[in-house]
Chains A and B, each alone.
Chain A
Amino acid sequence: MSSQPQTGTQPLSGNNVGIVRMLLVPLALIISILVGRWSLGVMKDAEAPRLLVVGVALLVGVFGIWIAYWLCNELLNLIPSETLREKIRPIIFVGPALALLIIYLVYPTVMTAYYSVLDKNSEAFVGLDNFVFAFKNRTIQIALRNNLYWIVGVTTFSVVGGLIMAVLFDKVRYESVAKSMIFMPMIISFVGAGVIWRFMYASNPPGVGLLNAFISNFDYKPVAWLINKSVNNISLIVIMIWLQTGFCLVILSAALKAIPADIIDAARVDGASELDIFWRIIIPSLKTTILTVVTTVVIAVLKVFDIVFVMTNGNYETEVIANRMFTEFFRNQNYGLSSALTMILVIAVLPVMIINVRNARRQRG
Chain B
Amino acid sequence: MRIQRFFSRSFVHFAVITIAFLWTLPTVGVLVSSLRPENDVKTSGWWNALKHPFEESVWTFKNYSDVINANGIDEAFVNTLVVTIPATILPITVAAFAAYAFAWMKFPGRDWLFAMVIGLMVVPLQVALIPILRLYTATGIAGTFLGLWLAHTGFGLPLAIYLLYNYISQLPADLIESAKIDGASDFTAFMKIVLPLSTPAIASFAIFQFLWIWNDLLVSLVFLGTNKVLTVKLSELTGSLGNKWHLLTAGAFVSMVVPLAVFFALQRYFVRGLLAGSVKG
Contacts and interface: CB of A to CB of B under 8 A. Distances in A.
The 9 closest A-B pairs by CB, nearest first: A104-B154, A300-B281, A14-B185, A189-B215, A97-B98, A93-B101, A12-B184, A90-B107, A111-B131
B86 A57 contact: yes
B113 A94 contact: yes
Contacts of A50: 78-79, 81-82
A184 B263 contact: yes
B64 interface: no
B218 interface: yes
A180 interface: yes
B47 A89 contact: no
Given A94-B101, A196-B26, A309-B217, A191 B255 contact: yes
Given A7-B178, A103-B154, A189-B255, A168 B16 contact: yes
A325 B130 CA distance: 11
A357 B123 CA distance: 13
B53 interface: no
A195 B183 CA distance: 59
Contact of A100 (B86, B153, B181): B153
B105 to A, nearest CB: 5
A5 interface: yes
B155 A204 contact: no
B58 interface: no
A300 B124 CA distance: 9
A111 B149 contact: no
Contact of B154 (A57, A101, A306): A101
Interface in B83-125: 85-86, 89-90, 93-95, 97-98, 100-102, 105-107, 110-111, 113-125
28 contacts: A5-B175, A12-B179, A12-B182, A44-B144, A50-B78, A50-B82, A51-B82, A54-B81, A87-B107, A100-B154, A101-B117, A103-B154, A105-B155, A185-B27, A188-B27, A190-B231, A191-B231, A192-B215, A195-B30, A196-B26, A196-B30, A198-B238, A199-B245, A208-B45, A296-B281, A305-B126, A305-B217, A309-B235
Given A202-B243, A202-B245, A208-B41, A1 B231 contact: no
Interface of B: 8-9, 12-13, 15-17, 19-20, 23-27, 29-30, 33, 41-47, 78-79, 81-82, 85-86, 89-90, 93-95, 97-98, 100-102, 105-107, 110-111, 113-132, 135, 144-146, 149-151, 153-155, 157-158, 161-162, 171-172, 174-175, 178-179, 181-190, 192-193, 197, 211, 214-218, 222, 230-231, 234-235, 238, 243, 245, 248-249, 251-252, 255-256, 259-260, 262-264, 267, 271, 274-275, 278-279, 281
A236 interface: no
B253 to A, nearest CB: 8
Contact of A65 (B93, B124, B264): B93
A188 B259 contact: yes
Given A73-B187, A199-B249, A101 B116 contact: yes
B128 A104 contact: yes
Nearest to A363: B166
Contacts of A213: 45, 47
Given A50-B82, A104-B128, A192-B234, 11 more contacts: A44-B144, A57-B149, A89-B186, A105-B123, A168-B12, A168-B15, A188-B215, A190-B215, A191-B231, A199-B30, A204-B243
A150 B270 CA distance: 27
B29 A200 contact: yes
Given A65-B90, A210-B45, A192 B126 contact: no
A93 B102 CA distance: 9
Contacts of B128: 104-105, 108
A96 B101 CA distance: 12
Contacts of A342: 124, 126-127, 129
A335 B130 CA distance: 8
A184 B185 contact: no
Contacts of A299: 122, 281
A70 B175 CA distance: 22
B215 A199 contact: no
Interface centre among B17, B85, B86, B130 (most CB of A within 10 A): B130
